[in-house]
């Protein structure tokens, strides 16, 4: 199989950046409520890519190949009946946590790297003494502000997999299963959470005590969903339910994007589309995708395939944890067929991508436009194509959801170098072009 490679670009970038260390947060321009957002396996991350991954390129490919797990997981969520929102599930999601932020937990603050996940409300970190956790752990007993929560607190009743006694007081422990044969147990805890210059006191999160079964990825999880236990809900007045991120380009192994929390400093002139609320899946950010164009052609898509329906969970979400945008199969096929009509073949496959063509035909590649209610997003070429290592092939960087899925997911590759703003109180999502790196 040919490899997707950006190695030439990386070496250029590297040559230009030896003079300053982009990973040194003290030299960062970001302050206030701005945090750097880095690739989980990028240069500035302490986590190394799972083997085998001989290059950054392979890592990106591997990440894309994990998408089906995540999208199946997201699909299964929307199919569920209303459930209590877990504070510390989300292991499935972590397999493909693509972006991490540096946070500090406790007093004095302990540096942790947490996965950013807009489709999850949960927060958890691996804690000291944890059986089966790897790498960085949070050490509660050196924090003067740490506390365990009791079974009687309302937050505890929102946790899935509870092991609280019927009567009497007890610490809120829970044990959740993961995949076929894995599980973890955690203590519902509170401590200060430091995000850039802000400190959120008494932040509720799961402190993982044990994991069993297949290795659970070492990062903590920071859920940016819109549900009742997420960061947004726990910080209410501080950030007013508003945040935005700018995801760095997939080519930028060395660089970081940013996460801006709160209404200050958000772009003023930004096109927006309404956010839709699904009470059955309160953490997901649904938007109203009404159509897709390829070049000047409006792709013929049966409106029902895009329609938002809270009962079935169908519709479109914006997600920070999936690598490539995926549509329900008939929608993807229609987009792909129109794209193939307008680009010169022959077409071949590369990994997860089924529409690859000679890169020299790229200058005549049509732009793909996502038509959201009230906002058209014309994808820059970089966000609709991915290239092979030799540079000889370009591929349409989108794909199909699993059969029977009703959900469309707008993912990372299509969000590079865009500022994506989530404004929950005003129920709107904004997108503006920005160079994130």
Ligand X SMILES: *[C@@H]1O[C@H](CO)[C@@H](O)[C@H](O)[C@H]1NC(C)=O
Beta carbons within 8 Å of 360's beta carbon, 6+ residues apart: none
Our finding on whether 141 is near ligand X (CB under 6 A) is: yes
SS3 call for 366: coil
Burial of residue 81 (number of CB atoms within 10 Å: 0-12, 13-18, 19+): exposed
Nearer residue to ligand X within complex by CB, 38 or 159:
159
Residue/partner pairs of 169-178 with CB below 8 Å, 24 or more apart: 172/148, 173/209, 174/88, 174/206, 176/86, 176/88, 176/89, 176/91, 178/91, 178/92, 178/213, 178/216
Residue among 239 and 308 whose Cβ is closer to ligand X: 308
CA of 229: how far to CAs of 80, 121, 158, 233, in Å? 19, 6, 8, 6
The nearest distance, CB 163 to ligand X, in angstroms, is 8
Nearer to ligand X, 212 or 426 (CB): 212
Sole window of 46-54, 206-214, 395-403, 408-416 interacting with ligand X (rule: CB under 6 A) = 206-214
Residue 185 or 256 with smaller CB distance to ligand X: 185
Residue tagged 């190949």 (tokens):
65
Stretch that binds ligand X, among 25-33, 204-212, 223-231, 244-252 (CB under 6 A): 204-212
CA dist 175 and 173 (Å) reads 7
Instruction: Give the range of 41-49, 209-217, 264-272, 383-391 binding ligand X by CB under 6 A.
Output: 209-217
Name the residues annotated as catalytic: 117, 319
Per-residue binder mask for ligand X (CB under 6 A), 118-137, x = binder:
----------xx--------
Contact predicate 174/162, CB 8 Å: yes
Question: Cβ closer to ligand X: 314 or 322?
Answer: 314
Letters for 371-400 (x = contact with ligand X by CB under 6 A, - = none) are --x---------------------------
Nearest-approach distance from CB 6 to ligand X, in angstroms: 37
Q: Which is nearer to ligand X, 298 or 344 (CB)?
A: 298
Q: Which residue has the tokens 């004095």?
A: 108
- Residues 178, 169: Cα–Cα separation, whole Å: 28
Residues 155-194 that bind ligand X (CB under 6 A): 175, 183-185
CA 128-134-136 angle, 5° bins: 60
User: Residue 175 or residue 358: which is nearer to ligand X going by CB?
Assistant: 175
- Asked if 170 and 138 count as a contact pair (C-beta separation under 8 A), the reply is no
User: At its nearest, how many Å lie between ligand X and the CB of residue 370?
Assistant: 13
Choose, by CB under 6 A, the member of 59, 229, 278, 288 that binds ligand X.
Answer: 288
Local structure of residue 153 (DSSP, 8 states):
S
Q: Which of residues 327-366 bind ligand X (CB under 6 A)?
A: none
Could you give the CA distance from residue 91 to residue 218 in angstroms, rounded to a whole number? 10
Phi and psi angles of residue 341, each rounded to the nearest 5 degrees, phi first:
-60, -35
In whole angstroms, the minimum distance from the beta carbon of 341 to ligand X comes to 26
A 10 A CB-CB count for 364 gives: 10
Measured in whole angstroms, how far is the alpha carbon of residue 116 from the centre of its chain? 6
The one among 49, 77, 211, 407 contacting ligand X by CB under 6 A: 211
Shortest distance (Å) from residue 123 CB to ligand X: 18
Helix, strand, or coil here: 26?
A: helix
Q: State both tokens at 38.
A: 């880095």
Q: Which is nearer to ligand X, 212 or 358 (CB)?
A: 212
Number of residues forming the site for ligand X (CB under 6 A):
15
**Number of C-beta neighbours around residue 103 at 10 A:** 22
- Take residue 389 and report the two structure tokens written for it: 């290592």
Q: Which helix (H) or strand (E) holds 206?
A: strand 198-212
- Pick from 3, 200, 210, 359 the residue near ligand X by CB under 6 A: 210
Q: How far is the CB of 40 from ligand X (least distance, A)?
A: 23
Phi/psi for 399 (5° steps) reads: -160, -175
Write down the least CB distance from residue 212 to ligand X, Å: 4
Applying CB under 6 A, which part among 26-34, 76-84, 208-216, 376-384 lies near ligand X? Answer: 208-216
Q: How far is the CB of 276 from ligand X (least distance, A)?
A: 5
Q: Which one of 25, 290, 358, 426 is in contact with ligand X (CB under 6 A)?
A: 290
Residues that bind ligand X (CB under 6 A): 128-129, 141, 175, 183-185, 210-212, 276, 288, 290, 308, 373
């Amino acid at each position: 199989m040919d490899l997707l490679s950006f190695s030439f670009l990386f070496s250029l970038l590297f040559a230009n950046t030896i003079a300053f260390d982009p990973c040194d947060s003290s030299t960062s321009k970001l302050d206030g409520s701005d945090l750097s957002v880095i690739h989980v396996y990028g240069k500035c991350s302490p986590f190394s890519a799972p083997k085998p991954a001989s290059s950054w390129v392979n890592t990106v490919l591997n990440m894309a190949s994990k998408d089906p797990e995540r999208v199946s997981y997201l699909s299964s969520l929307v199919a569920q009946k209303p459930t209590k929102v877990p504070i510390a599930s989300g292991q499935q999601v972590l397999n493909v946590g693509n972006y991490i932020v540096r946070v500090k937990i406790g007093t004095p603050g302990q540096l942790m790297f947490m996965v950013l996940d807009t489709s999850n409300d949960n927060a958890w970190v691996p804690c000291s003494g944890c059986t089966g956790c790897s790498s960085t752990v949070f050490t509660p007993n050196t924090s003067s502000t740490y506390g365990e929560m009791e079974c009687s607190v309302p937050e505890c009743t929102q946790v899935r997999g509870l092991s609280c006694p019927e009567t009497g007081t007890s610490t809120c422990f829970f044990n959740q299963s993961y995949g076929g044969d894995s599980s973890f147990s955690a203590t519902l805890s509170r401590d200060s959470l430091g995000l850039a210059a802000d400190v959120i006191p008494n932040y509720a999160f799961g402190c993982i005590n044990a994991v069993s079964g297949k290795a659970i990825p070492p990062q903590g999880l920071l859920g940016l969903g819109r549900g009742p236990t997420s960061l947004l809900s726990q910080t209410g007045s501080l950030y007013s339910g508003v945040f935005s991120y700018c995801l760095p380009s997939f080519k930028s192994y060395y660089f970081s994007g940013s996460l801006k929390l709160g209404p200050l400093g958000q772009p003023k002139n930004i096109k927006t589309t309404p956010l839709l609320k699904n009470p059955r899946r309160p953490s997901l950010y649904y938007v109203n995708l009404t159509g897709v164009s390829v070049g000047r052609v409006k792709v013929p898509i049966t409106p029902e395939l895009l329609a938002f329906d809270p009962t079935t969970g169908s519709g479109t979400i914006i997600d920070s944890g999936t690598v490539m945008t995926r549509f329900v199969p008939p929608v993807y096929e229609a987009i792909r067929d129109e794209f193939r009509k307008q680009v010169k073949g022959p077409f071949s496959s590369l990994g997860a991508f089924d529409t690859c063509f000679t890169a020299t035909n790229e200058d005549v590649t049509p732009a793909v436009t996502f038509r959201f209610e009230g906002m058209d997003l014309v994808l820059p070429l970089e966000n609709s194509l991915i290239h092979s290592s030799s540079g000889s092939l370009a591929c349409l960087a989108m794909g199909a959801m699993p059969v029977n899925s009703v959900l469309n997911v707008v993912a990372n590759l299509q969000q590079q170098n865009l500022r994506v703003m989530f404004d929950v109180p005003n129920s709107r999502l904004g997108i503006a072009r920005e160079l994130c790196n």
